[in-house]
Structure 1
Amino acid sequence: MEDNIEVLVAGEEHIGYVETILETIEKAAKVRGTGIAKRTPEYVRQKMLEQKAIIALCNGIFAGFCYIESWSNKQFVANSGLIVSPEFRGHGLAKKIKRKAFELSRERFPEAKLFGLTTGAAVMKINSELGYRPVTFADLTDDEAFWKGCQSCVNYDILQRTGRRMCLCTGMLYDPKEHKE
């Protein structure tokens, strides 16, 4: 199965997978009971059209997804919406998708700080392997549009009550200045 999985930058030809992606994210959020911000079909389509999304396919069957978004005048880039379809979990696909999203982010925004929010230990491990480090929310973008996107997350009330200082998510940051050779 792993040999048949393609991990690639999504484009117009992948628009037909949008509903499946959103359904997979919604089901995962319910099972986990943790925060995954909801996105509209239009938003995910736009990410694909802008070639700011990664899709994994196995013989044409949806296997996984992630997208990137820039914030604070392209000073910060988030890798978000990572999802792997249940039948493809446990084979390292999330790591392949995250690596491809990382590469796309570095290519498109070479000077930007990359970040992500996660509640999962597996994603924290993947991020650490890519060079991310845990940070406080104060180290992340202060772009109001980013924080507005958190409103659809079940944990949003925690952010409100703590003035965006705490959440059940862990913020992780990759600063290219820390990785110059």
Structure 2
Amino acid sequence: ALCDDRLIGFSYIESWEHGDYVATSGLIVDPEFRRLGLAARIKAKTFELARLRFPFAKLFSITTSLPVMKLNSQMGYKPVTFSELTDDEEFWAGCKGCVNYDILQRNNRRMCLCTGMLYDPKAKLERPSKRAPYMMWAHNRIKKLLHLK
């Protein structure tokens, strides 16, 4: 996200296991621009991009951030054990820079201080949500805010 030429927010997607899993990661918002809904807009855009490019992939996120967990939940992500996430060693090697990496290693990658969250498009097809009308309204509202067609 940019404000003029200034970077004020960021996130990215990365695919794993030949596109079977996609991580939505790195959500950062400049402190000056927090509490304006920017994080939700960025998260919605990464979700939309991931679903567009990898429509059958399981989307996942690992975080210690309660606001990110809430955003993920609103989009349909569910908390899961790490065993339900990618097995790709390269993904897990990316955790080496985290201060909690020793916890992850000590527990044989079964648990950490992070919460794993997963969006499985197949689960959505099998069990329609009672919140579906609200989610459709929220999706359309986000599209309008982002000036998407």
Gapped regions of structure 1 (runs ≥ 5)? 1-55
| Aligned counterparts, 1:163-174, within 5 A | 163-174=108-119
In the TM superposition, residue 72 of structure 1 has moved relative to its aligned partner by 1.1
Q: Which residue of 2 aligns with 1:162?
A: 107
Alignment of 1:82 with 2:82, yes or no, is no
Matched, 1:122 2:82: no
Shift of 1:178: 1.2
- CA deviation vs aligned residue, 1:103-132 (integer Å, no higher than 9, x gap): 000000000000001101110000000000
Shift, 1:60, TM fit: 2.1
Aligned length: 126
- SS across alignment from 2:55: coil
TM-score, normalised with respect to structure 2: 0.82
Q: Establish whether residue 178 from structure 1 lines up as the match of residue 146 from structure 2.
A: no
Among candidates 46, 69, 80, match of residue 135 of structure 1? 80
Give, in angstroms, the shift of residue 73 of structure 1: 1.5
Q: Which whole-Å deviations, capped at 9, do the CAs of 1:59-107 have from their partners, x for residues lacking one?
A: 2221100000001111000001110011001111111000000000000
Which letter does structure 2 place at the counterpart of 1:122?
Answer: P
1:152 corresponds to = 97
How many angstroms apart in 2 are the aligned matches of 1:119 and 1:94?
15
Q: What does 1:1-181 correspond to in 2, within 5 Å? A: 56-180=1-125
Report SS of the residue matched to 2:110.
coil
Secondary structure, aligned partner of 1:74? coil
Output the aligned Cα RMSD.
Answer: 0.9
Q: TM-score, normalised by structure 1?
A: 0.68
Q: Distance in 1 between matches of 2:67 and 2:37?
A: 10
Uncovered stretches (5+) of structure 2, i.e. residues with no partner:
129-149
Whole-Å Cα distance in 2 between the matches of residues 161 and 169 of structure 1?
A: 14
Aligned structure 1 segments of 4 or more residues deviating by more than 2 angstroms: none
